[in-house]
Structures are given as C-alpha cells and as structure tokens.
Amino acid sequence: MRLFQRCPHAALDVLDSARMLSFDDQRWEHLTGGYKIPFDPRPCLRKLENHHDTAATWDELWEELHHQGEVGDASYAAVPELVRIRRTSGAADWNLYAMVAIIELARTESQNPEVPAWLREDYFHSIQELAQIGTKDILSIEDSDTKRAILGVIAIARGLRTHGKFLVEYSEGELLKMEP
C-alpha cells in the first residue's frame, strides 16, 4: 500500500489526506489532553475552521492540548484536523505549525502516551503533509517566528528532531545567547 499519494486536483498539490475520525465519532468524547483529563477539541477545531474567535481558541488549544511537556490522545487526534484546516484555510499561522511541532516533540517524552493504533497512520501522514505545505508557505511568510515554526515542522518530518526542537522552542535571540 502506498501511504503518500498526491492528490491531482489539490490546490496546494499536497499529499492526499482524508479525515481519519469523523466529528460524529464518540471516541472524541473520551480523549484526554495535556492535563490527562478529558478534553474534546472539536468545538475549538470548528471555531478555527470557521475563523471564529481564533485568538481565544488558540489559547484554549495551547492550554488543553499541551501542558508542561505533556500531551494526550486528544492532542494527537487534533493534529490531522489542524492540518486539514490549514490545507483548506489558505493562511499559514504560527500557532498551527508550532502546535503540531510541540505535540510531536512531546510524543516521545516518557510520560506521554503512544499514538493510538487507530490514529497512527493519519497522525504521521498529517505531519508529513504539513511539512510539504510548509515548503510552500515558507516562501511567502515574513514573520520570523512563523518561519521558525514552519522550518521546525519540516525538520521534524525529515527526521531532524533536535533541529526542529531548537527552531520551535528558542527564539533567534535565545539561540545567539547560547554561542560561546
């Protein structure tokens, strides 16, 4: 089975991706976030998709999906949906790239759960898709924070996790202070 197929009619010529978990699926109601308590990200994802109260929505997602290095299965389930929203929205956003990178970096930390088997293929596929979208976004973005988040996702997707971590977690000024 070929995992990554091009979608011939996609506007961004990105990897073909289907919604892995219907918004009607009851599994959403039993997912946990970064606090290890139930969190259903669907209302937030719908707000982002509809461009409704996006600043407050991103704040809520940052608060619930990632807490002091901890993530949960709700965090993993949100990634394919965030990538789908990016694919259809037409606008690159620091929050989206940084959140996907931070969730993926946190995934391998000792206290975090594995990606559920039913989600694994779509989760990893989405990170690759976002990296591909990022290769186009990087050319038009002016904001250095967003550029670093995009480059972080690309680095992570290409197996350069340490580079991705430095790009996402440290500002240019912080990195310069690390020089001897």
pLDDT tens profile 101-143: 999 999 998 799 999 999 999 999 999 999 999 999 999 999 9
Task: Give the integer Cα–Cα distance in Å for 97 and 94.
Answer: 5
pLDDT single digits (tens) 50-109: 999 999 999 999 999 999 999 999 999 999 999 999 999 868 999 999 999 999 999 998
Confidence of residue 43 (pLDDT cuts 50, 70, 90): very high
**pLDDT given at position 17:** 42
**pLDDT given at position 6:** 35
* Residue 82: closest CA among 26, 135, 19: 19
**pLDDT given at position 180:** 79
Local structure of residue 26 (DSSP, 8 states): G
| Residue found under tokens 């669907």 | 42
CA 120, 124, 127, 128 torsion-angle sign: negative
pLDDT (average), residues 139-159:
97
**pLDDT given at position 24:** 81
